[in-house]
Chain A
Amino acid sequence: MLNTVRTLFLTFLHAFQRRATVQYPEEHPYLPPRYRGRIILSRDPDGMERCVACNLCAVACPVDCISLQKTEENGRWYPEFFRINFSRCIFCGFCEEACPTYAIQLTPDFEMSEYARPNLVYEKEDLLISGTGKYPDYSFYHVAGVTIPGKDRGEAKRERPPVDLHTLLP
């Protein structure tokens, strides 16, 4: 009996507590920076595409929603096309983990509803952003030993110049 009265009183007190609901379209919930939302392709600090079309993201994707094709230009690899089908994507973030160049990243944005399913297929121009995303200083070609125009072998960061084999001869 006393328990019942206590329950009634405690429930009544909830009238003066904060409501847990976030009034969504007007208010927005806090999304942490590492929230797994809409997928983007980032660029390196020089403004070049980071993606080297290695296909690791497509391999890692458990629902096979990523498809891309490699092309080559001046020694750099690029995706000829890069397509993510967001009507299949489960936002697991495996692609981001698999990416060796920090190109593919998940962002704190989930407002991507469409009326027609085909509109959820994002092409490379929809995915590519102008910034660097979560890793402002990283540039794959500046730490990798690949030769590209403007950077010869041995000029990457923490890379020693190649040894001239002739100097080793007796």
Chain B
Amino acid sequence: MSQIPFLAIVLTPLVILALATLLTWVERRLLGLWQDRHGPNRVGPGGLFQAVADGIKILFKQDWIPPFADKAIFVLAPTIGMMTVLLSFGAIPFTAWSGIVGTLNVGLLFILGMMGLGVYAVVLAGWASNSKYALLGGMRAAAQMISYEVFMGLSLLGVVMIAGSFNLHDIVMAQTHCWFILPQCLGFLVFLLAGIAETHRLPFDLPEGENELGAGFHTEYSGMKFGMFFIAEYAGIILISSLVTTLYLGGWQGPLLPAALWFLLKTTSVVIFFILLRAALPRPRYDQLMALGWKILLPLSLLNVTATGTVLMLRAAG
């Protein structure tokens, strides 16, 4: 562990947080673009400092804990949300040589585990708030995230089988000749959908569902505690996007341009796709969401595992 540069450990969370804050502005500008309006374009060049202004505003808001809330857990929940997302970034290899523990031999499992823990943030927030809408949001979040975790894990099995490793560095190296999006297109699709549900982004943002539940699990939160949920959500988008890049789009590999730039480019396009989803699609009903998961995505991911296994077996035999 001594070879991990201290600088990387300090810089990675800072850069991720800065990018997540920036993403709030990027999202609003892009939504504006796709809805034939401008979005925030007044503060700074192109409205760039809107994110900073929002940050300052939210920092100085009253930090209110409702008297009926379970205080300890109420404070703990956003911390968990933020921490699990930031910890996950440790295992992602941004380039061949950077990333904190890019060559961790159980890297993929670590990230899945962290995402599993991330569910606690939402569930505990909903529970500790002690109000009906927050509880409903937390309950939905628990059901949605736990079931989509299943397909997420299953869809990744194909990648792991081909690469023969949980090490994210090795998985990227295995894509030198062919990105996994081609042989694993089914797995990619399921992973992408599960990723949207996992970060509870639109159109799968039922835990928040602002027109039915107020704001769902973070109804009672305000000030920087709400801000942490908010930033953690955007950091989650970056996380899922960089995972998609690493697992299916060949990671940092690409011709001509430097490795870090390739990674950034691929991740950014996935992030932009996430935002396009929000601009275009309405939210499904809750039972439709669960039906999509258990009746379509689960069989699809099982089919993917079976097919990948059969092909690998035949190739090994022949």
Tell me the nearest residue of chain B to A17, going by C-beta: B36
Number of interface residues of B (CB under 8 A): 12
Interface of A is mostly: helix
Write the nearest CB–CB distance from B204 to chain A, whole angstroms: 13
CB-contacts of A1-55 with B (<8 A): 4, 7-8, 10-12, 14-15, 17-21, 23
CB–CB A8/B280 < 8 A: yes
Does any Cβ of A come within 8 Å of B283's Cβ? no
| Contact assessment for B38 and A8 in the assembled complex, using a CB-CB cutoff below 8 Å | no
- What are the interface flags for A139-154 relative to B under an 8 Å C-beta threshold, 1 for contact and 0 otherwise? 0000000000000000
> Contact at A8–B277, with CB atoms within 8 Å?
yes
Q: Please name the residue on chain B nearest to A13 by beta carbon.
A: B34
Residue of B nearest to A11 (CB): B280
B35 touches A14 (CB 8 A): yes
B109 at the interface (CB under 8 A from A): no
**Distance between Cα atoms of A133 and B277 in the complex (Å):** 52
Report how far A11 CA is from B33 CA in the complex, Å: 10
Q: Select one of B33, B38, B281 contacting A15, CB under 8 A.
A: B33
Contact (A23, B277) CB under 8 Å given A14-B33, A15-B33: no
B37:A21 contact, CB within 8 angstroms: yes
Q: Do B34 and A7 have beta carbons less than 8 Å apart?
A: no
Partner of B36, one of A4, A12, A14: A14
Q: How many residues of A contact B (CB 8 A)?
A: 14
Chain B hits for A18, CB < 8 A = 36
Closest to A5 in B: B280
Interface of B is mostly: helix
Interface residues of B in 204-258 (CB under 8 A from A): none
> In the complex, are the beta carbons of B280 and A7 less than 8 A apart?
yes
A19 CA to B33 CA, complexed, in Å: 8
Q: Give B29-67 as 1s and 0s: 1 = Cβ < 8 Å from A's Cβ atoms.
A: 000111111100000000000000000000000000000
> Do A15 and B34 touch across chains, with their CB atoms under 8 A apart?
yes
Closest B residue to A23 using CB positions: B38
A23 to B279, alpha carbons, bound, how many Å? 22
Q: Does B276 contact A (CB under 8 A)?
A: yes
B38 touches A11 (CB 8 A): no
Q: Write the B273-304 contact mask toward A (1 if CB under 8 angstroms, else 0).
A: 00011011100000000000000000000000
CB contact between A7 and one of B35, B36, B38, B281 (< 8 Å): that residue: B281
Beyond the given A8-B281, A20-B37, A23-B38, could you list 6 further A-B residue pairs with CB under 8 A, ordered by the A residue number? A11-B34, A11-B279, A11-B280, A14-B33, A21-B36, A21-B37
26 A-B residue contacts at CB 8 Å?
A4-B281, A7-B281, A8-B276, A8-B277, A8-B280, A8-B281, A10-B280, A11-B34, A11-B279, A11-B280, A12-B34, A14-B34, A14-B35, A14-B36, A15-B33, A15-B34, A17-B36, A18-B36, A19-B32, A19-B36, A19-B37, A20-B37, A21-B36, A21-B37, A21-B38, A23-B38
Top 5 A-B pairs, shortest CB-CB distance: A11-B280, A21-B37, A20-B36, A14-B34, A8-B280
